[in-house]
């Protein structure tokens, strides 16, 4: 119970700090919005091809914007020296990981909650489907689960802004492919039974990589 | 309270600490001097579990730091020249956050008492980014004392403070850390290990003085055995000899 309270305290701290500064959310939201707009103009999408590219556009926008947020997540702690305050507390390191990871999930979901309506208007697609929303949730969880771990790794390097996407995207390939396939499937009304393998892959990825991060975070944050 | 034996710390081939032996008794205040690069901060970081030693033993309250780091962290309060606070949160929010991490009960009363002691009760709802450097350091001390630790580590807490703010900081530390609560309403002094470059201030505060140079304890004396002048001469000689 104490463990959960500590995780909740870290989430609370990140949310309150973010509500005051909007450091992470504003960067993610503006980037995602611009990405969606640029893709819309660049592809000059027509009704006949919009369903084919829209899932890819959505997940590129979410993942690129998400990287911006992940970069800031630990960078703000590191640059302001507050990371050591966290590490000095008698807290299991995995509680720090889960606290930061859940904070990142919340910020990404908030960004997605604003970008998806814009996406619906521009692409004229019914994204508010339970299946699509489930995929967005699972994809975001996988993205933030791995991303939080890699963000903690990259924050101690000089080229952290460049290093994080280079490290992260190859690992995230299964999440991105599954999410795009599933989103496209739900938009095309393909029965879930035909895409169940992608859903299983997404769920297994989330579970496995969050478990790996749970076990390795201690080593990542140690000097 | 603190026992360090043959402590070595190397970064690659560069040895920063070359066999440090040091003890701090319960309730004792030990002030450590040393030139830049002597290894004072490295030593403090190892004691606080932020860094791992290359070799040697460190025990806090009888607990070896590598065996039970969480138990050691529970016994330590650490103040550095960096505040380790969140500047977008208020003083009260910062203390509440750290209080939850330390699993403290009766947090409201503890926060009230500490903010009054460090003279920040009136500014408790202001974001830390609006504070002066001296106020930030006082809040940093409140953070370090929140869980009533039996051992305080103060690593150059007066860096960047003017004379007035530094004097106030030391008064606050002396008042707040000098008597800690033992949970039964009776006072008990905390052990303190403090590093500073200010010889005069350090001498006034110490029970025992240590000079760290060349990665080792090069000099050790009780306060009563030294005057400010003799301390300055000793310090200049040791630091001069070591280059």
CATH code, B2-241: 3.40.50.300
Residue A15 in contact with partner chain B when CB distance is under 8 A: no
Distance from CA of B222 to the nearest CA of A (A): 30
A158 vs A154: CA distance, rounded Å: 8
pLDDT band at A52 (very low <50, low <70, confident <90, very high): confident
Per-residue pLDDT of chain B (243 residues; tens, 9 = 90+): 889 999 899 888 888 889 889 999 988 889 998 888 888 899 999 999 988 899 999 999 889 988 888 889 999 999 888 889 999 999 999 999 999 999 998 899 999 998 988 888 899 999 999 998 888 888 988 898 898 898 999 998 877 777 777 777 777 777 766 655 555 445 667 888 999 888 888 888 888 999 998 888 888 888 888 888 888 888 888 877 655
* B93/A16 touch (CB, cutoff 8 Å), yes or no: yes
What pLDDT, on the 0 to 100 scale, is given for residue A202?
A: 92
ipTM of the complex: 0.86
- pLDDT band for position A33 (cuts 50, 70, 90): very high
| A26–chain B Cβ distance below 8 A for any pair | no
Strand-pair partners of B77: B152
Flag if B83 and A81 touch (Cβ within 8 Å).
yes
Q: Given CB atoms, is A20 within the 8 Å cutoff of chain B? A: yes
Sign of torsion over alpha carbons B119, B125, B131, B133: positive
Three-state DSSP class for residue B232? helix
Q: Which of B51, B85, B102 sits opposite A82 (nearest CB)?
A: B85
Structure tokens that stand for A96 in this block:
């720090």
Q: Do B100 and A90 touch (CB under 8 A)?
A: no
Instruction: Say what the pLDDT of residue B242 is.
Output: 59
- Supply the pLDDT for residue B38: 84
3-state secondary structure of B77: strand
Task: Establish if B53 touches chain A: CB-CB under 8 angstroms.
Answer: no
Tokens of B154: 């103060």
Q: B139 near B118, Cβ under 8 Å?
A: yes
**The tokens of B118 are what?**
């460090």
Residue the block writes with tokens 């962290």: B73
Please report the pLDDT score of residue A66 as a whole number: 92
Strands B151-155 and B191-195: parallel
Q: Which helix (H) or strand (E) holds B17?
A: strand B14-24
Give me the pLDDT at residue B181, please: 54
Whether chain B has a CB inside 8 Å of the CB on A84: the answer is yes
CA separation (Å) from A153 to A23, A160, B42? 20, 9, 22
Please check whether residue B129 touches A, CB under 8 A.
no
Mean pLDDT of chain A: 89
Domain residues of chain B, as ranges? Answer: 2-241
- B84:A82 CB<8 A: yes
Q: Tokens 């660049």 belong to which residue?
A: A42
Confidence of residue A32 (pLDDT cuts 50, 70, 90): very high
Comparing C-alpha atoms, which of B84, B14, B91, B13 is closest to residue B45?
Answer: B84
Are the Cβ atoms of B97 and A9 closer than 8 angstroms? yes
Q: Contact B71/A90, CB-based, under 8 Å?
A: yes
């Amino acid at each position: 119970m104490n463990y959960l309270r500590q995780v909740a305290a870290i989430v609370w701290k990140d949310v309150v700090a973010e509500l005051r500064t909007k450091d992470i959310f504003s960067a993610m939201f503006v980037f995602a919005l611009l990405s969606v707009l640029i893709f819309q103009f660049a592809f000059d999408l027509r009704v006949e091809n919009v369903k084919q590219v829209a899932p890819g556009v959505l997940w590129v926008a979410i993942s690129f914007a998400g990287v911006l947020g992940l970069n800031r997540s630990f960078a703000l702690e590191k640059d302001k020296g507050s990371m050591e305050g966290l590490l000095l507390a008698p807290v299991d390191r995995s509680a720090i990981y889960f606290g930061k990871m859940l904070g990142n999930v919340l910020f990404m979901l908030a960004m997605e909650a604003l970008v998806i309506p814009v996406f619906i208007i521009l692409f004229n697609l019914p994204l508010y489907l339970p299946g699509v929303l489930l995929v967005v949730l699972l994809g975001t969880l996988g993205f933030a689960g791995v991303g939080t771990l890699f963000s903690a790794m990259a924050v101690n390097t000089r080229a952290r802004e460049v290093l994080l996407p280079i490290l992260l995207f190859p690992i995230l390939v299964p999440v991105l492919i599954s999410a795009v396939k599933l989103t496209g499937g739900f938009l095309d009304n393909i029965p879930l039974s035909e895409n169940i393998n992608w859903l299983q892959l997404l769920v297994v990825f989330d579970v496995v990589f969050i478990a790996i991060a749970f076990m390795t975070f201690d080593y990542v944050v140690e000097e | 309270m603190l026992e360090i034996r043959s402590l070595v710390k190397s970064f690659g081939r560069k040895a920063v600490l070359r066999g440090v032996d040091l003890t701090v008794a319960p309730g004792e205040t030990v002030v450590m001097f040393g030139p830049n690069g002597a290894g004072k901060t490295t030593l403090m970081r190892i004691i606080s579990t932020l860094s791992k030693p290359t070799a040697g033993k460190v025990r806090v309250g009888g607990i070896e730091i590598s065996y039970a780091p969480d138990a050691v962290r529970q016994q330590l309060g650490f103040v550095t020249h960096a505040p380790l606070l969140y500047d977008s949160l208020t003083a009260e929010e910062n203390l509440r956050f750290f209080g939850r991490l330390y699993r403290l009960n009766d947090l409201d009363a503890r926060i009230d008492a500490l903010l009054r002691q460090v003279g920040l009760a009136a500014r408790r709802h202001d974001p830390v980014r609006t504070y002066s450097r001296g106020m930030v350091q006082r809040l940093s001390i409140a953070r370090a004392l929140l869980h009533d630790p039996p051992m305080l580590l103060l690593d150059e807490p007066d860096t960047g403070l003017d004379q007035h703010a530094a004097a106030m900081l030391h008064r606050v530390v002396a008042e707040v850390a000098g008597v800690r609560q033992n949970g039964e309403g009776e006072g008990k002094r905390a052990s303190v290990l403090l590093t500073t470059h200010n010889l005069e201030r350090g001498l006034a505060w110490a029970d025992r003085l240590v000079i760290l140079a060349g990665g080792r304890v090069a000099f050790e004396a009780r306060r009563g055995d030294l005057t400010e002048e003799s301390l300055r001469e000793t310090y200049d000689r040791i630091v001069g000899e070591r280059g």
